[in-house]
C-alpha cells in the first residue's frame, strides 16, 4: 500500500478521504498516515475519522510517504503556490488522486499533486499542470490547458482550447467559451458565462461575465 500524508484539513480533505475509501474498495491502494493543517484550532480534531496531528511543516516526519495537496478555497487560492513552496517538497512526491468515476481521455496529461473529482470529464489533449483541482461534474473539453495550482469548481464547462492560467479559481457552474484565455490568479465568479479573455488578477462575474475589480495590481495587463 502507498502511505499518504494529506495537507489541509478542510472540506477537500474530507472529499479526498472518501475518494481513497472508494479506490480501496475497488483495489487496496492507499493508507493515510497523517493529516496536517496550519490552523491550531484544528489540531487534535478529526476529519472523516482521521486525526489532525499538527502543522504542515511536520510533513518531513514521513519522508517516504506520498503527499496529497488539498489546500485552497475561493478566499485563499492565490496563496497555494507560496504555501506549498515553503514546504520544500519535491513535486514528484505529490500523489495525483483521481476518483474512479471520473473519465480521463488517454490523450490527456495531468501533473503531479492534482485532484480529480467524480463525474468529471477530461477530453482529448487536455493538459493539467501541477496541483490542479477539478471538482465534481466539470467538463474540460478538448485541447484545454489549466495552469499549476488552479481550482475548477463543481459543474464548470470549459469549451475547446480554453487556457486557464496559474493559481486561478473558476467558480461553480460557470462556462467559458472556446479559445478564451484566462490570466494568472484570476477569479471567475459563481455561474458566470465568460465570452472574452480575462486579465490576470481580475475578478469577473455575470452573464456575460464582466470585470468587478482588479485584485492583483502586480499582475500583467494582458493574460499570460
Q: Are residues 109 and 165 in the same domain?
A: yes
HEC string of the chain equals CEEEEEECCCHHHHHHHHHHHHHHHHCCCEEEEEEECCCHHHCCCEECCEEEEECHHHHHHCCCCEEEECCCCCCCHHHHHHHHHCCCCCHHHECCEECCCCEECCCCEECCCCEECCCCEECCCCEECCCCEECCCCEECCCCEECCCCEECCCCEECCCCEECCCCEECCCCEECCCCEECCCCEECCCCEECCCECCCEEEECCCCEEEEECCCCCCCCCC
Q: Considering Cα of 74, then 76, then 80, then 81, what sign does the dihedral take?
A: positive
Q: Are residues 58 and 149 in the same domain?
A: no
Q: Are residues 59 and 109 in the same domain?
A: no
Q: Are residues 205 and 138 in the same domain?
A: yes
Q: Is residue 222 part of a domain?
A: no
Domain boundary, last residue among 66, 93, 120: 93
Q: Are residues 147 and 81 in the same domain?
A: no
Residue 212 C-alpha cell reads as 468587478
Q: Are residues 106 and 81 in the same domain?
A: no
CATH code assigned at 57: 3.40.50.20
pLDDT at 219: 41
* Residue 89, domain extent: 2-93
Instruction: Tell me what the pLDDT averaged over the chain comes to.
Output: 94
Number of domains within the chain: 2
Average the pLDDT over 46-63 and give the result.
96
Residue 193 C-alpha cell reads as 458565462
pLDDT band per the 50, 70, 90 thresholds, residue 221: very low
pLDDT band per the 50, 70, 90 thresholds, residue 215: low
Q: Are residues 73 and 113 in the same domain?
A: no
Q: Are residues 114 and 202 in the same domain?
A: yes
Average the pLDDT over 180-202 and give the result.
98
Domain boundary, last residue among 71, 93, 115: 93
Q: Is residue 37 part of a domain?
A: yes
What are the distances in angstroms from CA 77 to CA 28, 60, 83, 133, 168?
32, 24, 10, 11, 7
Q: Is residue 219 part of a domain?
A: no
Q: Are residues 77 and 134 in the same domain?
A: no
Q: What is the pLDDT of residues 65-117, one digit of tens each?
A: 999 999 999 999 999 999 999 999 998 899 999 999 999 999 999 999 999 99
Q: Are residues 83 and 130 in the same domain?
A: no
Q: Are residues 11 and 106 in the same domain?
A: no
Domain boundary, last residue among 93, 112, 140: 93
Q: Is residue 221 part of a domain?
A: no
CATH code assigned at 161: 2.160.10.10
Amino acid at each position: 500500500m502507498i502511505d499518504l500524508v494529506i495537507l489541509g484539513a478542510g472540506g477537500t480533505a474530507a472529499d479526498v478521504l472518501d475518494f481513497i475509501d472508494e479506490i480501496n474498495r475497488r483495489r487496496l491502494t492507499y493508507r493515510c498516515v497523517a493529516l496536517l493543517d496550519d490552523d491550531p484550532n484544528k489540531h487534535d480534531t478529526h476529519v472523516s475519522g482521521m486525526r489532525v496531528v499538527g502543522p504542515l511543516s511536520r510533513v518531513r516526519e514521513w519522508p517516504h510517504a506520498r503527499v496529497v495537496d488539498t489546500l485552497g478555497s475561493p478566499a485563499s487560492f492565490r496563496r497555494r503556490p507560496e504555501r506549498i513552496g515553503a514546504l520544500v517538497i519535491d513535486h514528484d512526491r505529490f500523489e495525483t488522486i483521481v476518483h474512479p468515476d471520473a473519465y480521463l481521455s488517454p490523450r490527456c496529461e495531468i501533473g503531479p499533486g492534482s485532484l480529480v473529482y467524480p463525474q468529471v470529464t477530461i477530453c482529448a489533449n487536455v493538459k493539467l499542470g501541477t496541483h490542479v483541482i477539478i471538482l465534481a461534474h466539470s467538463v474540460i473539453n478538448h485541447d484545454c490547458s489549466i495552469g499549476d495550482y488552479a481550482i475548477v469548481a463543481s459543474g464548470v464547462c470549459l469549451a475547446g482550447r480554453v487556457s486557464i492560467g496559474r493559481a486561478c479559481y473558476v467558480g461553480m457552474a460557470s462556462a467559458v467559451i472556446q479559445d478564451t484565455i484566462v490570466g494568472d490568479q484570476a477569479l471567475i465568479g459563481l455561474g458566470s458565462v465568460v465570452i472574452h479573455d480575462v486579465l490576470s488578477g481580475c475578478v469577473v462575474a455575470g452573464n456575460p461575465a464582466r470585470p468587478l475589480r482588479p485584485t492583483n495590481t502586480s499582475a500583467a495587463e494582458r493574460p499570460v
